[in-house]
Every structure is written in C-alpha cells, then in structure tokens.
Amino acid sequence: MLSNQEMDNVILEESKYVINTYGRVPAVLVKGDGMNVYDINGNSYVDFLSGISVNNVGHCHPKIVETIKKQAETLIHVSNIYYNIPQVNLAKKLVNISGLDKAFFCNSGAEANEAAIKLSRKYSKAFGKEGEIITMEHAFHGRTLTTITATPKPKYQEGYDPLPTGFKHVPFNDIEKLKESISNKTAAIMIEPVQGEGGIHIADQEYLKAVRELCDDKNIVLIFDEVQCGLGRTGKMFAFEHYGVKPDIITLAKALGSGIPIGAMIAKDEVSNAFTPGSHGTTFGGNPLACATAITSINLISELLNNTNEMGVYFTDKLKKIEEKYDFVREVRSIGLMTGLELSFNGSNIVQEMFKQGYLINCTSDTVLRFLPPLIIQKEHIDGMVSSLDDVFSKI
Ligand SMILES: *Cc1c(COP(=O)(O)O)cnc(C)c1O
C-alpha cells in the first residue's frame, strides 16, 4: 500500500503544474471497478456521482474496455475529411432511438450546445428572425463564452465580458413568463427537461407540452439539453420520453462515451438542412474510437433502464424517510437515478463527511446534495449510503 506522502506529492504537484480552476476533494483516484473507485492509499469509495453522470454503466465496464482496446488497435482518428464506419453507425443508432433525423458529433456538452445554438440561428435566419435564444433560470449549458451566456449564473459570467449577445432568460416551469418573453426575434428555446447543476429541478408535464405548442405556433426551434439527464439517467433513454414531447434538437455528451470524450447534437431534417459543408466542424468530432465506444455505451445503457427505474424508486423511498426525519431537509426531488436532496444550509460539509464514510456524492447550487450513481447500482449500495447519510445527519 502506498503512503500518504505519495498522495500529498500528487496534490502538491497538481497545485504547481495544473491551472487552478477546481476546488478538489483530497482524493487521488487510481482505479475504478463497477460501483467502486480506489484512491492511491488503497481506500475504496462507492461512487454515487459517476464522474457527473458519465460512468452510467459503471467504472471500467468489461465491454467498454474491450471496445476501446479493439478500436484502438484498428483505427483511432482520421478527421472528418474522410468517412469512418463507427461514426455512421453511431449516427444511425442515435437517430433510431431518438426519433430525430440526423446527428452531428463533437467532443463535449458545451460544444454540442454551441452546435445547437449555431444551427438554430442559421435555420431561423431564413424566416427573418434575429437569432435570439431563450434559456431558463438555474440552467447550465457549459463553459464556453456562448454557453456561459446561455447559463444565467453571474459566477460563471463575471470577468468574461464582452459576452455574445442575443440571449434572454426566464423562470423555469413558467409558461406565461416564457410567452411574454418571445418575439419575432426568437430563434430557439433551450431547456434541460431535468436541470442538473441547477439542483435537480424537473420540468412539469404540462409545461413542456405547452412549450412545444408555443414553438410550433411561432416557428421557434425547441432544443432539449439532455447532456446530463439523457442516456438512461432518468430511467428512459431520453428524459423527453417521460413527456411525450419531441424537441427539434437534442444535445448529448457526458454518458455517451462512458468517459471517452464525445458530444452529439441530433436534429430534425428540416432544421439540420440549414448546415451545409463548411457551416460547422471540429477535428476530433465523431472519431472512430469515441463513436465505437458510444455505440457500446448505448447498448449497455438500454439494458440498464429497468434497474434504473427499480433502484430509483427504492432510493427515493429511502430518502423520503430521511426527509421526514430531519427538519433541515427541505425536499427530495428525483426521477430515475437523478436525485437531489435540498438542505436548508450549504451541503459541502456533508459531502466531506460522506467522503470520510467512503461515499462519493456532490453538492450543487450550494444546498442540493446530488446523487447520480451508475445505473448498475443495487439495493445494498443504496442501503449503505442512506444509512451513512442518516449517521452524518444525526450528528448535526
Ligand atoms: C455538463 C453539462 C454541460 C456541459 O458539458 P461539458 O462536457 O462539460 O462541456 C451542458 N449541459 C448540461 C445540462 C450539463 O450537465
């Protein structure tokens, strides 16, 4: 077993050589296996965060590892100047499962949203619109200049002005405010059906239906950012399936490559036809390694949907009991295995205490404990985590 000194050394060198953009938990992780990760000192942790809903099929799934090995030995990258088979196969799969028409590949969630913003602006110019995009309060769409502008959080925007123009924000789940804010400039409305970073806020059924009708009426492109809530997280492949509402564009990333970076934008033909050769592009986007891995990810996720629903219900029931027991728990919000527990105070100490107990959880929007476990989770993991949480809460 390695000593603490080696861990201290990694942390020291990180502070010396890596630009300081993250406040990290003091754990140097060296290995992962299914539900567990291991640190440099040999401690194991049960992962209730999945690298922020990336490791949906668990860590180092044998089929993911096998796919990566096989594709790495065959062809890793060729650029988009040529055709490659995994890219076409992945596009076909995404089109089949989403009911939309065509896919574009990039390397992250922010890039997928950039593509969606660019596409919807280009498409709507033909109708004389001025490219305005409406997004929601508490949304999160990424960290590029344009996507921080789409993300109405001062902390993410401060110091980066001048920001791109043409963005407006309205309260989430409020159809009247949305109606008031649209004009003949409005090109697109962008929504996370379940807000992740914002604190696990779930769109109302009637709301998304009304938004769809509004978009149809006014010829506005409806973009669903499913970077976090998509790909099995909510118990369906896509969160929009819970609503019976189909967007014109959907964006994906996080769980798509099970850790190999890949993002995707899937769109209806009518909209995607606004892009022609030269309109948009990226060097790495849709490379064979990432696409082959994504095909395996999707296949595995589709086999885990039943477990996600069963375990989601089991987990939520247990957390509701915790909610009843402690006054400082304001609310439990959950859909599938996308779960938030809102506290009446900042949750970062709870995250630290849970870490000491061997559980990786996270706190978002200051007060919301966020649980995004791998979809392979079993009752025993939930029982263990909830009992540790109960323990930690009982000492407050
Ligand atoms: C994480 C996230 C993004 C940004 O994805 P990156 O891969 O970090 O660029 C965008 N939208 C949502 C909803 C996310 O959760």
**pTM summary value:** 0.98
In this prediction, residue 300 carries a pLDDT of 98
**How far is 190 from 117, CA to CA, in rounded Å?**
9
Dihedral, CA of residue 354, residue 360, residue 365 and residue 367, to nearest 10: -20
Q: 3 pLDDT band (50/70/90 cuts)?
A: low
**Is there a binding annotation on residue 271?**
no
For residue range 77-132, what is the model confidence (pLDDT) as tens digits? Answer: 999 999 999 999 999 999 999 999 999 999 999 999 999 999 999 999 999 999 99
**How far is 360 from 24, CA to CA, in rounded Å?**
12
**Is there a binding annotation on residue 197?**
no
Q: Strand pairing of 201-202 and 194-195?
A: antiparallel
For residue 384, which phi and psi values (nearest 5 degrees)?
-65, -45
The 3-state DSSP class for residue 302 equals: helix
In this prediction, residue 183 carries a pLDDT of 95
The 3-state DSSP class for residue 71 equals: helix
- Cα 146 to middle of ligand 1, angstroms: 13
Amino acid, single-letter form, for residue 186: T
Taking residues 352-379, report their average pLDDT. 98
Domains of the chain, residue spans? 5-56+304-394, 63-302
CB 369 within 8 A of CB 322: no
253 ligand 1 Cβ < 6 A: yes
In this prediction, residue 66 carries a pLDDT of 98
**How far is 295 from 291, CA to CA, in rounded Å?**
6
- Reply yes or no on whether the pLDDT at 278 is more than 80: yes
Taking residues 143-151, report their average pLDDT. 97
Dihedral, CA of residue 308, residue 309, residue 314 and residue 315, to nearest 10: 50
**Is there a binding annotation on residue 140?**
yes
- Cα 152 to middle of ligand 1, angstroms: 14
203 ligand 1 Cβ < 6 A: no
- Cα 197 to middle of ligand 1, angstroms: 9
Tokens standing for residue 138: 């508490």
In this prediction, residue 31 carries a pLDDT of 98
* CATH of the domain spanning 63-302, picked from 3.40.640.10, 3.40.50.300, 3.30.565.10, 2.40.50.180: 3.40.640.10
140 ligand 1 Cβ < 6 A: yes
Mean pLDDT of the chain: 97
CATH code at 5-56+304-394: 3.90.1150.10
Three-point CA angle 315, 363, 240, nearest 5°: 60
Sequence-distant (6+) residues with CB within 8 A of 317 are none
Continuous H helices in the chain? 4-17, 50-53, 62-74, 85-98, 109-125, 145-150, 154-157, 175-181, 205-218, 269-272, 288-303, 305-325, 348-356, 379-394
- Reply yes or no on whether the pLDDT at 2 is more than 60: no
CB 187 within 8 A of CB 124: yes
In this prediction, residue 4 carries a pLDDT of 87
**How far is 249 from 224, CA to CA, in rounded Å?**
6
- Reply yes or no on whether the pLDDT at 41 is more than 90: yes
- Cα 244 to middle of ligand 1, angstroms: 24
In this prediction, residue 222 carries a pLDDT of 98
